[in-house]
Amino acid sequence: MEKLLSYTDNKKADVIIECSGNPDVIPGLPDFLRDGGWGQSDEGGRIHLQGDYPRPASFIPYQRWFVKNATVSMTCALRPGIKEKVLALISQKKFDARSLYNKVYNINDAPQAYKYLEKNRYDTLKILLEW
């Protein structure tokens, strides 16, 4: 948490994208999200669940989520067999995932990476953070 606070000037994250697939981390996500979303000009933070969770995910206690006034979204972008098709394309050298991002950033350079993404949002599809 100390690193997050230092990177964000003590405001915490505007957006959290959870893609670990570990449902045990979900209840703690609001702790890392900035406060806000209560004024007309403030949309509040966002949490996006991208993981493939093997067990039910919990949003308990509800009050912890409610007071963040955040937008929570999730994606189930894969239908049965799609993951295997993508892996086949990669193995056949017909798809190169490196085409999705420009540069790999060290996690310590995350603030600069996100500034770059914000400045170049229409020319940059993804940034990649190496932990």
For the stretch 78-88, pLDDT in tens is 677 777 888 88
Domain of 49, CATH number, reads: 3.40.50.720
Domain that holds residue 120: 78-131
Label residues 102-127 b or e (16+ Cβ within 10 Å = b): beebeeeebeebbebbeeeeeebeeb
| pLDDT reading at 108 higher than 80 | yes
- Let me know whether 101 and 111 are in one domain: yes
* Structure letter (DSSP) for residue 39: S
Report the number of distinct structural domains present in the chain: 2
Predicted TM-score (pTM) of the model is 0.58
67, 86: one domain? no
Q: Give the mean model confidence (pLDDT) for residues 121-131.
A: 82
The torsion defined by the Cα of 116, 19, 131 and 109, in degrees rounded to 10, comes to 20
- b/e per residue 61-72 (b: at least 16 CB within 10 A): eeeebeebebeb
User: Is the domain of 7 the same as that of 51?
Assistant: yes
pLDDT for 92 equals: 93
Say yes or no to pLDDT of 11 above 80.
Answer: yes
56 shares a domain with 46? yes
The two tokens of residue 70 are 């955040």
Q: Please tell me whether residues 72 and 100 are part of one structural domain.
A: no
Q: Are residues 9 and 62 in the same domain?
A: yes
